Amino acid sequence: MEKVTMGQLPELFEAVGAQFAANAGLLCEMDSRMGDGDLGLTMKKGFCGLPDILRSMEEEDFSKKIRKAGMEMTDLVPSTMGMLMGTGISFGGKAMAGRSELDAEGLTLFLEGFCAGIVKRGKCSRGDRTVLDCIGPAADEAKAVLAANPGASLEAVCRAALEGAKKGVEATKSMAPRFGKAAVHANISQGVADQGATAGLVMLQGMADYILGNTDESFS
């Protein structure tokens, strides 16, 4: 796939929703150790609802449509993680101002904007063991591919972003949590991936499923 058009946005996020539906149990299990235990259900509700939000909107500007959809998602799932992810999507859309499609550069801008939204809403930094430690490395890898080859395809950038996200999640196993209930249980977090970062990886896996044409909904 060379680009994702405005008309394809609901399908893109349907693929993301499918990943969250398939991995809701995993995320809830991870969250039950150091959180409220409902992360999987929250993310499933938010991302499975996002395609309908997009379809119901009459906005004709590509960037503004994503931005507004992210804002509406925060209303649908007004939890801490719901607010973070919805804000990330909204800022990702804002970062693509003036664009009419999601191509290789657009995906990189979206990921960088997503990170900016997480930082602003969550008041966090890399290394704090949050979803930022997944999406940040994904954005880095995407940007590196474009820097090395400005003509890189959307698929190439997407693959790089996904690999960066996986490395980022792995790195959270050695990080100490600073926020929420996880910080109270920091002693049991060592060697275990952060559940928020894992949710970020699920999102990127869903996007990759659509962009790369994957049909298997298993998490990899």
Count of structural domains within the chain: 1
CATH code (residue 101): 1.25.40.340
pTM (predicted TM-score)? 0.93
pLDDT tens digits along 108-136: 999 999 999 999 999 999 999 999 999 99
In a domain, 219, yes or no: no
Closest CA to 101 of 15, 1, 4, 211: 4
In a domain, residue 100? The reply is yes
Instruction: Convert the pLDDT of each residue in 43-72 to its tens digit.
Output: 999 999 999 999 999 999 999 999 999 999
> What domain range is 179 assigned to?
7-211
